[in-house]
Amino acid sequence: MEPLQLGPAPAPITLKDTVPLSVDLHPSADLLAAGLITGQVNCYSYTDTTSKRLFASKHHKDSVRCVKFSDDGAHLYSCSTDKSIQVMDTETKQVFLKKAKAHDDGINTLLPLTETLVASGDENGVVRVWDLRTKNIVQEWHEHEDLVTDLHFVPHKKTIVSTGADGYLSVYDLRKKDVVARSDQMEVEMLCMAPIRNGKRLVVGNSDGSLSIWSWGWWGDFKDRFPGHPASVDAVVAIADDMIVTGVRRWARSVRTFLVLSIHPNKLLGVLGAHDEFPIESLAQSHDKRFLVSCSHDHTIRFWNASILHDSGSDDDEPGAQEEEADPATGDGSGSDRWESASDDEDGNADDADDADDADDADDADDADEDEEHADSDAGAGPSRATASDDDDEDPFAGTADDLALGEAPAPDSGDAPANADESGSSSSSSSDEEPDDKKKRKKKKGILKRSFEVKKPKKDTFYAGL
C-alpha cells in the first residue's frame, strides 16, 4: 500500500551518537520533549516547516525510558533505568524535584496523575504512585510478573490501567490497596494502549501484531480483536474517537511503518510513513492535531502532517455512531459502572413520568367532554367516537391496548336485534350512554401500557455495542 499524501512538516531531527527512546508534545504550545538513551532530556520548538532545539539537560545517569508533560505544560517528568524520577520546570529549565531510587529496578514508564501525584512502572512489574510533596509512596501494586509497558489514567474514576510484557492487563483504584481487576493471561506481550470511543474502549497493541479492543468494565478478556499487523505493535496513539495510528516493527522486509486504522468498523485506511530498518519507540500527537511525532533507533525524530486524517472526517456523524454514544458503557450490565452521571437517568425517567401524567390528564379531560356530549343528546356518540379515533392515531400501541382491555367480544344474539329503526336508535342511544365508563377503563389500561412502554424501554446489548 502506498503512503498517504501528506502536507508540509518540519524536517526530521537527527541526533548524533544517541537514540531517542520517548517523545511527548506540550499540551498547549509547539514544544517537543525527547528522552535519549544517553540520559539526556532535550526540548525543541517547532513550526509548520522548521524545528529548533531549545535546551538539552543531562540529569539522568542512564537511558531515559519515558518523558511526559504535565496537563498544564508547566512541568516535564522523566524516568530512567537508573531508577530515578525527575521533574523539570519548563520555564526555568531547572530540575526542581528528584527522587533517586524510586524503584528497586529500572523504571520503564510513568504518568502524571494530578499536580501532586505521579504513577510509575518498573522492569519487575511493580506500579507505584508517588506524592511529590512528600516524595513518599502512597500506593503500590505487584500484579505484573514482568515489565510494565504502559499506563493509562481516568481522572474522574480515579482509576489506573496498566499493561505488561507478562500478558496481563491490570486495573487499580487510587483509593484501594488491592487490585480492582486483572485480565486473563493473553499469551502475548501487551506493549501499548490508547483509549477510544470517549473512553468506553481501550485499544491494546500486542507482540503478535494484533490489536485487542477492551470494553470498559469487562476486564476478564477483550471484546474484539483486530489482527493483520505483520509484527509487533510497539506504539499506538488515538487521533480521533474511532481512528488510531500504530507503529509497527516490520511492514515490508526491513521497513518500520505507521498504519492508520479505523476502529469499529475495523479497517486499514492507509500508510502514514516509515522509519527504515529500525523499530519505532514512541508516538505522540500535537495539541492542535496538526502533527504526529515519532522516534526510532535510526537516530531521528520525525514529524508527520496529520491534517489529511482529520479532513477526511470520522464516523461520528453517522447514525450508528450517534446511537452508540447515547448508550453508556456498563461494567457488568447492571449500570453500576456507567460513565454518565446517574442524575441524567433520573431526570430522563422523571420526564417520562411527567409525560405519562400529562397524557392521563388529557384523557380525563376527554372523558369529561364526552360525558357532557352524551348528556346533551344521543347524537353525541358520533363525536365521542371520533375523539377516540384521533387518540388511537396518536398512540402506536392503541390497538394493542384495546385488545388487551376488552378481549374478543361475543357475537350478539339474533333475538336481541332491534325490530325497526326506532328500536335501533334507542339501542344505539342506550349503548352510547354506557360507553364512557367502558372507554375510561380502556383509556386507563392504555395509559398504563403507554407509561410502561415509555419508561421501560428495552436496554441495548452493551456487550456488542459498536462492534
Domains of the chain in start order, with CATH, are: 188-310 (2.130.10.10)
* 165-196 per-position pLDDT tens digit: 999 999 999 999 999 999 999 999 999 999 99
CA distance 81 to 60: 9
Q: pLDDT at position 122, please?
A: 97
Close Cβ partners of 371 (under 8 Å, ≥ 6 residues apart): 436
Do 112 and 71 touch, CB atoms closer than 8 A? Answer: yes
Tell me how far CA of residue 169 lies from CA of 56, 71, 184, 429, in angstroms: 35, 25, 8, 76
The secondary element (H helix, E strand) that includes residue 371 is: helix 342-376
Rounded CA-CA distance 222/134 in Å is 38
Residue tagged 538539552 (cell numbers): 56
Q: Are 213 and 244 in contact (CB under 8 A)?
A: no
Cα atoms in the Cβ-side hemisphere of radius 13 Å centred on 101 = 1
pLDDT band at 358 (very low <50, low <70, confident <90, very high): low
**Cell numbers found for residue 88:** 523539570
Convert the pLDDT of each residue in 13-44 to its tens digit.
Answer: 999 889 999 999 999 999 999 999 999 999 99
Which own/partner contact pairs does 129-135 have at CB distance under 8 Å and 24+ positions apart?
129/160, 129/174, 130/85, 130/99, 130/102, 132/87, 132/97, 135/97, 135/99
**pLDDT tops 60 at residue 458:** no
Alpha-carbon Rg for the chain, nearest whole angstrom, is 33
Instruction: Name the range with the highest mean pLDDT among 221-225, 315-319, 409-413.
Output: 221-225
Please tell me the chain's helix, strand, coil percentages from 3-state DSSP, rounded to the nearest 5: 25, 35, 40
pLDDT at residue 406 in the model:
36
Length of the chain: 467
Query: DSSP state, 3?
Result: B
* Upstream peptide bond of 265 is cis (omega within 30 degrees of 0): yes
Does residue 41 contact residue 23 with C-beta atoms inside 8 Å? no
Categorize the per-residue pLDDT at 366 as very low, low, confident or very high, splitting at 50, 70 and 90: low
In this prediction, residue 229 carries a pLDDT of 81
pLDDT single digits (tens) 94-152: 999 999 999 999 999 999 999 999 999 999 999 999 999 998 999 999 999 999 999 99
Q: What pLDDT shows up at residue 275?
A: 81
What mean pLDDT is predicted for residues 208-236?
Answer: 90
pLDDT of 78 reads 97
Q: What is the pLDDT of residue 262?
A: 78
pLDDT digits (tens, 9 = 90+) for 241-284: 888 989 886 544 434 566 777 777 888 887 877 887 777 889 99
